[in-house]
Structures are given as C-alpha cells and as structure tokens.
Structure 1
Amino acid sequence: MDSTGNTILVTGATSGIGLGLALRLHKAGNKVIVAGRRQALLDKITTEHPGIESVLLDVSDPQAIQRSSEALSVSHPNLNVLINNAGVIDWEDLTNPDSLATAEAIVTTNLLGTIRMVYAFTPHLIKQPNATIINVSSSLAFVPLPATPTYCASKAAVHSFTQSLRVQLEDTSIEVVELAPPAVRTTLLGQETDEQAMPLEAFLDEIFELLNTTPTPSELVVERTKPLRFAEANGSHAEVLRKLTEYKP
C-alpha cells in the first residue's frame, strides 16, 4: 500500500483506532472518508480536520452498505483503500439466555459487516490500478478472552475470511492486509485508562512503521500482539488462555 495519494474509506472511524488511523492517513496526504453511525461525531471530525469527508454508515445494515458503495463509487471514483474497522464488543454470560441478543449483534457488526463491505466494495476496488483492503481483527482472534466469547469468535472468523480473501484476490490489483490490534487504550470495553492496554499513539506509531514497509506485510502485528498471535505455534496457548481467563469484567 502506498503511504500517500490514496482515497481511503475507514469504517468505525468516529473514535479509537478507527479515528486514529483516519487522522494519521489524512496527515500523510491521503483523501480520507470517515464512516460511522453518529452524524454529530462525523460532523465534529470534518469540522476539526478540514479535508476529511464523512459518510453516515451502520455496517450492521446491509442496505446502508449497498447504498454507500453505490454513492461512493460515483462521488469518489478513485477510492482505492477500504479499512474495515467497525466493531463492537461486550461481556457475555453464556449461562444467561439474555446474552444471546448481545452475541447476535456482535456477529452482525464484526463478521457480517466486514463480509458485506467486502462484497459491496470489491467490484469497485478491483478496477483500480492499485487497491488495498485492510480487515481489522484482534489479538483475541488467536487466543480468546473467555469473558467476551462471541467477540473473539467473530474476530477469529475475520482472520480466516481475510486469509481466503487474500488467496482469491492474489491475481488482482487488490492487496489484502489484516490488522490485529492488542488491547489499546480506547473506549472499547472502557480501556481508555487501563495501564495494561497499549497507548493509542504508540500503537499507531508501530502500525505506520509496518504500513511503510515495502512490500506491505500481510498481517500488521505489533509487538504486544505477538504473544497471542504465535501462542499456538510456540506451545504457549494454554498458558495465555489461562491468564486471559483470570481477566473478569
């Protein structure tokens, strides 16, 4: 992925990692379109950062995805990078039937949202001379946090889907990249003051070092993600899972 001169759509970009990526990419000389569910936050971002554009988009709504893909293909014919960052997480009690609604909402946003975005935007991206799809998974795709089972399962599915997508698109102009963040100090799960989570700016620094590598790595994995990413391979999966089991909401 070129570091500048792209037209980039970032979903889930009104806060946290999504907003951080959008601002860094904008500063680097890319045309950035931020997507999110809350118009007030989108308006605030575009007002405070002239040049950034926005689109109201809830990735849990398949009709909204289709409308956005059709509109953006006309308004931004050079759109060549899609970052599927939108995601939700919540605690679940698998012994409580009331948690099922939470689980279903997580799958709809994290997994179906990513899949639907890929299906909707790939026909446009594949026409570009150079294009990139970045799917955001999680370090928890590789070892789950048992208190958030469906979130972890959805991100494991995103990891698997991204591998297949990469193979299917390998003879096209689209490169496929997976970004697997560790716990980062954002409002996700109220981690903004969690000393065990990685500071957002430090995380972004590492990510952009990787993005500026040629060729772009197929997986953007910062140092804090590696103990989980490679736990299965190095035989530490059971130990890491045990530590995560001790983390309670």
Structure 2
Amino acid sequence: MSALWRARRAPPKLTDMNITGNTVFIPGSTSGIGLALALELQAKGNTVIIGGRRTDRLAQLAAEHPGLGTVEIDSTDPASIQSAAKEVLATYPDLNVLVAMAGIMRIEDWHRPESFLENAEAVVTTNVLGPIRLIAAFVQHLQTRPDATIVTVSSGLAFTPLKVTPSYNASKAAIHMLSESVRLQLADTSVKIVELEPPSVRTSLLPGQQESDFAMPLDEFVSEVVTLLETQPDAREIQVERVKFLRYGEARGDYDQVVATLNSADPHGN
C-alpha cells in the first residue's frame, strides 16, 4: 500500500500495485469511512490498527474482527496522541502507514457568535490540530521506514463550500494546503503524502446523512477508493468520480454553478 500511495512522480508502472503486507494505523476509525477502510485493508492482507476514544467499542470491534489491532486515542488531546503513538510503535514497530482519519462536522449559524463559536473551535481542534499532532507524533518513525505514507483526509468541501458548515469547509481547505506543503518538505525522505478527498458519504457525520440520497453509499466509496489505490500508484489526491464535481468547479469555470447546486441540493455534504 505504501508503495502504492506514492506522492512523488515516478515512472509509470506496467501493472497494478500490491496493497498487502503493510502496517497501517487509522485513528478515528471506530465507525464510518475509517472503519470501512480499515476492514477493507485488513481483508487485503495488511496489519491494521484502529484508534478511538471508546474502549468498549474498540473491544467489540476487536472481538468481531480477529487480528484487528486497537488502541485508545483522543485526537483532540495532545497527551492522548503521544501515549497512543508510544503504544502503537512499541507493539507495531513495522508501522509504515498513518491515516489521519478523525474528523467532525457541525452545522453553524454565523449571524450570532453564541450559535457558532463553540462548534467552530471544536471543528478546528479536531480536524486541523488533530492531524497536525498525529503527524508530529509519527513522522520521525515513518522516516526510518524504507517506504512510508501519511494519508490526510480533506473533502470535496475543501474546494466548494457548503453554506451551513463554514468551519468544516475551512478545516478541510487547511488540510488540503497542509498536505501540499508537507509533501514538498518531505520530498527528500521516504515518506509520501496522499490526500483522500471524500464527497458526501452515507455516514453519521451529520444527522440524517446515513439516509441521504445525495450521499454516496459507504461500501461503494471504499471500494472505489481501494481500486484507485491499486491502479493509480502515483496519485497525490485520491478522488472518486463523485467528488470531481466539487473538486474541479473552478478549473472547469463553473464554480458559481457548482456552489449553487451544492447548496440547493441537500443540507448534507462532506
């Protein structure tokens, strides 16, 4: 997988890449996209460790999926991240892939600060500081691996705003530019930076999103992501077809129409 998730340009490959035999840590993966991706990667023959705050949920998932590693972690808490990193690296010294999956989405009304400020601060702490702290906790170790990957998770909303989620949109735009910048800095190392850009997916990120016809079915999303990882070894951004409507509006010249369509179609989008 790490060899698959290449962030730097390389000569074209003649065959699909093998995404087996890696050791992958996915904090924030006890449900939704993170869990579905973890299980798919485990099925592909990788050692996968999931992280989350609820020890009962972690125990349940470990019992249901033999071989799945678990570690308690709260990505909003710097001390928790450091503790989890030590545990993961002590138990899985071959770790070569970090997927910074944890994230939250909150609806905000910016007409009055009392109706958005607390939510906005929580979103930035989780979605921006969380990945930064996770990368800081693992980047030195990953540089010792011959072929390593950090996967960041932004969103189609990094490129086209959903009106009701300003801080979420901004946090994912920050992750996009962080990914671009860190990739440049780590170009002289063995660590690749790959950005996963989901569209709206049927998860519990927002109330009602799991039942939304606008959102992409979770199994279809993960299946397409894994196919892209297998067939596009040099991709810097992993984009399912559905997200390209949001991702490339400005490049196509129809950005205003994309914004209008997104904000009239459905209250859910990520």
The answer to whether TM tops 0.5 is yes
Question: 2:32, 2:73 → 1: CA distance?
Answer: 17
Paired residue secondary structure (1:164): helix
Question: 2:89, 2:27 → 1: CA distance?
Answer: 16
Compared CA separation, residues 61 and 245, structure 1 to 2 (3 A): same
Question: 2:20, 2:267 → 1: CA distance?
Answer: 42
TM-score by length of 1: 0.97
Question: 2:227, 2:198 → 1: CA distance?
Answer: 14
Identity over aligned pairs, percent: 49
Which residue does 1:221 correspond to in 2? 239
Which residue does 2:172 correspond to in 1? 155
Which residue does 1:129 correspond to in 2? 146
Amino acid at match of 2:189: T
Which residue does 1:64 correspond to in 2? 80
Paired residue secondary structure (1:239): helix
TM-score by length of 2: 0.90
Q: How far has the Cα of 1:102 moved from its partner? A: 0.5
- For the Cα contact (< 8 Å) 2:97–2:149, is it kept in 1? yes
Which residue does 2:15 correspond to in 1? none
Which residue does 2:35 correspond to in 1? 19
Please list every run of 5 or more consecutive structure 2 residues that lacks an aligned counterpart in the other structure.
Answer: 4-18
Question: 2:145, 2:32 → 1: CA distance?
Answer: 29
Give aligned pairs, total: 249
Which residue does 1:176 correspond to in 2? 193
Paired residue secondary structure (1:181): coil
- Which digits, 9 at most, give the CA deviation of each residue in 1:191-239, with x for residues without a partner? 1111111011111111011111252411000000001111111111111
Paired residue secondary structure (1:212): helix
Tell me: higher relative CO, structure 1 or 2? Use CA pairs within 8 A at least 6 residues apart: 2
Q: How far has the Cα of 1:97 moved from its partner? A: 1.7
Amino acid at match of 2:214: Q
2:184 maps to which of 163, 167, 170: 167
Q: Which moved more, 1:238-247 or 1:156-165?
A: 238-247
Which residue does 2:258 correspond to in 1? 240
Question: 2:263, 2:220 → 1: CA distance?
Answer: 26
Paired residue secondary structure (1:178): strand
- For the Cα contact (< 8 Å) 2:71–2:88, is it kept in 1? no
Question: 2:53, 2:135 → 1: CA distance?
Answer: 19
Cα RMSD over matched residues? 1.2
Question: 1:248, 1:66 → 2: CA distance?
Answer: 36
Q: Which moved more, 1:239-248 or 1:167-176?
A: 239-248
Paired residue secondary structure (2:231): coil
